[in-house]
Amino acid sequence: MRFSDEFETRFAEMLTHYPTKRSALVPTLLYAQDEAGSLTDEVIAELAGRLDLTELEVRNVISYYSMLTTKPRGKYNVQVCTNIACMLRGGEEILDHCKKKLGISHKGTTQDGLFSLEEVECIGACSWAPAAQVNYDFHENLTNAKMDQILDEYKKKGTQ
Amino acid sequence: MADLVSHPDEVRVISKRFGQGATDIERYLQLDGYQAVQKALAMQPDAIINEVKNSGLRGRGGAGFSTGMKWSFVPKQSAKPKYVLCNGDESEPGTCKDRLIFEHDPHSVIEGVMIAALAVGSHTGYIYIRGEYRYLSVIMQKAIKDAYAKGFLGKNIFGSGYDLDIYWHGGAGAYEVGEESALMESLEGKRGIPRIRPPFPAVVGLWGGPTVINNAETLAAVPHIILGGADWYAKLGTPKNGGTRMFCLAGHLNKPGVYELPMGYNLKKMIYEVGGGIPNGRSLKAVVPGGSSTPVLLPEEIDIPMDFDSVAKAGSMLGSGGVVVLDDTTCIVKFALRTIKFYQHESCGWCIPCREGTDWLKKTLTRFHAGAGLKKDVDNIYYLAENMLGKTFCPLGDAAAMPTMAFVKKFRKEFEDHLDGKPCPFEKAGAVEPVMA
């Protein structure tokens, strides 16, 4: 299992921040997932070994956090918020539009592996609703037309 | 990057450096940065705590507990290390203020953690930022690194002989982790399950050591209090509610945005003047005044000062500062369903009233909104919520129960309009189209 040098540097440094190794687990899982695409058996075994945990202990933590996944997602994970502030300003319509445009439903992935879609809970963009995140990038004050443009741009970037 | 707004009634304390490049440590220093911590280094810990107590600063995460009082609960002597933990797991629906603080003024949070550490005699602080806020984690990690490079953090800070380390920590998606004991579990690398209290974190917290946990906005206010003085800060607000508040105006408004207003600012004015009123000639139906967990207010209930005590007197809570405005096209049953769907999704499942209660509420409200509700369900919804209230390990159960009870109490007729196979009157009228101001 190889992670990037950046990952290794950060991981080594993080271990010095806490009195217990285990404390580095949650952020480390997210960084590992960013590199591997998902938390595969191999990633779980590797991190469990490094942090003196059992694989079961690591899986137990993974299943709690909504951003962590053991299944691969698309290259671009489109996360549309439909919580109250977004709902009032058309978040559900944005989600429906994405479903139609991408031809997938909640937690689905397109056949080319480019996009996956998720209906998510509040992402902290309430004053700029409706909003979505594509991977970690925020897109706010959305309309269907704006969402089209955003998805087209990612598609172009992803197929280049 | 979130858009900034402004209004002449704003009093900019927390947000005074917004849009001024203060993520750069040099710029932060030009704008009085790291002055307060140097002043605090020359003060006795008790004097710092008293200053914060006298400022009337109360927890901006939602509970509104006196910050100085919280700090005073940390024992002076402790065999185990003491910690300061900044809660930046902002996830209460309607709330998006800490995001702006991290984006525009990360050093103010670091400085706030430093002063809290000096006040309680801690040498280690953590700044926990929710996983979704990756770009803010990048900003914060750099800010911390820059502070170390200047010698403001690490050994012998500002040549004072005091050692202080501050570290970034990140989440991975969990509302529940915003609850202070679940936050500590998460930082320790576990599922965010709340701990039973007492003992409170001030006595037994992170890795068993006494721990001060404050919201990011609370900590960002601290340097301003130390520099400007408790009296100045207290006078910005109302009695026992010092200072200003970052209000996140959201929902059906012409000018949504995050505005910094004095504590006690009138809610009606906030909606109609600061927020620009309701778009498309529609009228106000209801306001959720402090994040999704706070009981809804009717239009005739909003002529109130927005401070902790006044909103409590009006039967709701100031909460996290998320003001969500609903116009007359909003279906309350649908809104109640979306609210409970969130709490059901976020319930950690550790204690039964919350796990079962939120699930049954979601099921009942879903059936109800689909038109398959029965008359007895209206009382059942209230009964289910009431039976969660005060019966759970952590406030998530209350957060789900309180708004639900208020929806039923204040909009019973609207619930009854959905009964016996009748379709949602709002969807039938085609009135739930998106509103784009």
A126 and B132 in contact by Cβ < 8 A? no
Same domain for A99 and A44: no
Identify whether the C-beta of residue B339 lies closer than 8 Å to the C-beta of residue B301.
no
- The helix (run of H) or strand (run of E) holding residue B214 is strand B211-215
Domain boundary among A30, A62, A94: A62
Give the separation between CA B253 and CA B287, rounded to whole angstroms.
11
CB B131 within 8 A of CB B46: no
- CATH code (residue A116): 3.40.30.10
* Residue matched to tokens 């956090």: A65
Q: Specify whether A13 is located in the same domain as A83.
A: no
Which DSSP helix (H) or strand (E) runs through B83? strand B83-88
Residue A14 to residue A47: CA distance in whole angstroms = 14
Superfamily of domain covering B25-236:
NADH-ubiquinone oxidoreductase 51kDa subunit (3.40.50.11540)
B 174-203 residues with CB below 8 A of A? 174-175, 186-192
β partners of residue B214: B86
Would residue A84 count as lying in a domain?
Answer: yes
DSSP string, A27-65: HHHHHHHHHHSS--HHHHHHHHHHTT--HHHHHHHHTT-
Per residue in B170-202, pLDDT (tens digit) is 999 999 999 999 999 999 999 999 998 899 999
Please give the Cα distance from B49 to A80 (Å, whole number). 43
Question: How many independent structural domains does chain A possess?
Answer: 2
Is A58 part of a structural domain of the chain? yes
Q: Which of A22, A67, A140 sits opposite B173 (nearest CB)?
A: A67
Please tell me the distance in Å from B41's CA to the nearest CA on chain A: 24
Q: Are residues A55 and A94 in the same domain?
A: no
Q: How far apart are CA B32 and CA B364, in angstroms?
A: 54
Identify all chain B residues contacting A27, using CB atoms and an 8 Å cutoff.
131, 169-172
Angstrom distance (rounded) from CA B121 to CA B49: 11
Note whether residue A29 is domain-resident.
Answer: yes
Give the end of a domain, one of A62, A94, A111.
A62
CATH code for B332-428?
1.20.1440.230
Examine the domain organization and report whether A100 and A140 are in the same domain: yes
Q: Do A22 and B188 touch (CB under 8 A)?
A: yes
Q: Determine the pLDDT at residue B1.
A: 65
Which sequence spans correspond to the domains of chain B? Answer: 25-236, 244-327, 332-428
CATH 2.60.40.420 fits B244-327, yes or no: no
Task: Please state, as a whole number, how many other Cβ atoms lie within 10 Å of the Cβ of residue A29.
Answer: 24
Q: What is the ipTM of this complex?
A: 0.98
Name the residue in chain A with its Cα closest to that of B184. A23
Kindly report the length of chain B: 437
Position B428 scores a pLDDT of 53
Are B171 and A93 in contact (CB < 8 Å)?
Answer: no
Residues A96-133 as b/e (b if ≥16 CB within 10 A, e otherwise) read ebbbebbebeeeebbeeebbbbbbbbbbbbbbbbbbbb
The secondary structure of residue B70, as a DSSP letter, is H
Give per-residue pLDDT as tens, B99-139.
Answer: 999 999 999 999 999 999 999 999 999 999 999 999 999 99
Residue A44 lies in a domain: yes
State which residue of chain A sits closest to B93, comparing Cα positions: A122
Q: In CATH, what number is assigned to the domain containing residue A33?
A: 1.10.10
Nearest to B33 by CA among B98, B137, B105, B94: B105
Cβ atoms of B75 and B203 within 8 Å: the answer is yes
Do A46 and A86 share a domain, yes or no? no
**Chain A residue at shortest CA distance from B185:** A23
* B125 contacts in chain A (CB < 8 Å): none
In this complex, which of A24, A84, A138 lies closest to B338 when CB atoms are compared? A84
Domain shared by A54 and A17, yes or no: yes
Q: Which residues of chain B have a CB within 8 Å of the CB of A146?
A: none
pTM comes to 0.97
Same domain, A55 and A82: no
CA distance B206 to B85: 9
Work out the angle at residue A135's Cα, subtended by the Cα atoms of residues A134 and A140, and round it to the nearest 5 degrees. 35
Please report whether residue A71 resides in a domain: no
Distance from CA of B192 to the nearest CA of A (A): 8
**Residue A127, domain extent:** 76-159
Within this chain, do residues A92 and A124 fall inside the same structural domain, yes or no?
yes
Per-10-residue mean pLDDT, chain B, length 437 = 90 98 98 98 98 98 96 97 98 98 98 98 98 98 98 97 98 96 98 93 98 98 98 97 98 98 98 98 98 98 98 97 97 97 95 96 93 90 96 94 98 90 72 41
Last residue of a domain, which of A37, A62, A87?
Answer: A62
Chain A with chain B: Cβ pairs closer than 8 A: 166
Inter-chain touch B435–A17, beta carbons under 8 Å: no
**Is residue A33 included in any domain, yes or no?**
yes
The neighbour count for residue B329, using CB atoms within 10 Å, is 18
